[in-house]
Amino acid sequence: MKDEGFSIGERWIGSESPALIVAEIGQAHDGSLGTAHSYIDAVADAGADAVKFQTHIANEESTLDEPFRVKFSFQDNTRYDYWKRMEFTEDQWKDLSKHAKDRNLIFLSSPFSVKAVNILRDIGMQAWKIGSGEVKSDDILGAMAENGAPIILSTGMSGFDEIEDCVKRIRERGLQFALLQCTSSYPTALDQVGLNVIGELRSRFNCPIGLSDHSGTLFPGLAAMVKGIDILEVHVIFDRGSFGPDVPASITVDDLVVLVNARDAFHVMAVNPVDKDEMAENMSQMKSMFSKSVAPAMAMPAGTILQFEMLTLKKPGTGIPASDMENIIGRRLIRDVDPRKLLIWEDLE
């Protein structure tokens, strides 16, 4: 069954298209606009298709009661303070979006409030990413739907009933969508990645399917691409010494290059099926070089009556084939033979 794919700009998402690789920056910029721009250049140089941020507005989404998921900050007394420090202005988001587009990247950012959606919509979002924690946020989904752009939905905290409900609400609004298997653990242990869910999501929802990986390793992304996913999202950092709560769940920019190269290689193999019989015919010359023919096992003078133990098989396969060995036994040599040369019919009486 062919997926109901869609386009993000000029990029097709779905069957027979290479997996869209999304480099999730999240909060890896630690509130620095310059660092955010540096990440855009880095992931573009690595060959990613899209760069993704998170648009947080502390007053709109958080309170002083929100606990830290990981207490990592040396300067933020509360999670609310941290989100405040992660904010960019609307003009700064516009500049980030333009920079991404100038580098031929799809610009994405997950909004965590309706106000964040409005800011992003005004700068022309080509697709929306709904994070795992916003699956039930119908106000955010409703605001997203206003420009009709497709939805990419992570499912890291949701069972199938909750996914079904969200998909229903997306379809009721006439939006195209993709679903990402995800496990919201940072990092995600390999035994919790859930590659098996990818096929089940595809069969249940008939839409492009992907993986949002938080393992901090290359293995889930590589394995998922072999399974034919349409989207791969990975958190990216400059190096393992980077600062921030998501570092253990992220891969490096150098790792991202490996994923991009693997994606391209997997796609070439996937869209070029091999005709085994045609391949064998094309390999006939090579086959003759690697196969073997009948050869003398020792130097023998003319007049020798050939016995089985006097013969052996050696490369190349351009002489008398092994299947004719029985037709040689008992025949007489009409000239001297050298074990460094293949036996030929002209050597025989």
Flag whether 250 is in a domain.
yes
What's 302's domain CATH number? 3.90.1210.10
- Token pair recorded at residue 118: 């409005």
The percent of residues in the chain predicted with pLDDT above 70, rounded, is: 99
Q: Does 3 reside within a domain?
A: no
Percent of the chain whose pLDDT exceeds 90 = 87
Shared-domain flag, residues 295 and 168? no
Within a domain: 163: yes
Mapping DSSP to helix (H, G, I), strand (E, B) and coil, where does residue 286 land? helix
Q: Are residues 121 and 20 in the same domain?
A: yes
Indicate whether 5 belongs to any domain: no
| DSSP string of 60-71, one letter each residue | HH--TTPPPSS-
Q: Residues 201, 336: one domain?
A: no
Pair of tokens at residue 200:
């089940």
- Residue 106, domain CATH: 3.20.20.70
pTM: 0.86
Q: One-letter amino acid identity for 36? A: A
Does residue 275 form part of some domain? no
**Residue 185 backbone dihedrals phi, psi, to 5 degrees:** -120, 145
In the predicted structure, residue 170 carries a pLDDT above the cut 50: yes
Per-residue confidence band for 2, with pLDDT thresholds at 50, 70 and 90: very low
Residue 11's pLDDT is what? 95
**Closest CA relative to residue 205, chosen from 167, 262, 248, 249:** 167
Full residue range of the structural domain in which residue 183 is found? 11-270
**Burial class (CB within 10 angstroms; exposed 0-12, middle 13-18, buried 19+) of 77:** exposed
Position 4 scores a pLDDT of 77
Task: Flag whether 100 is in a domain.
Answer: yes
Instruction: Count the domains in the chain.
Output: 2
pLDDT over 90 (residue 74): no
Tens digit of pLDDT for each residue in 80-130? Answer: 999 999 999 999 999 999 999 999 999 999 999 999 999 999 999 999 999
Quick check: is 179 in a domain?
A: yes
Report pLDDT for 3: 56
Task: Please give the pLDDT value at position 1.
Answer: 42
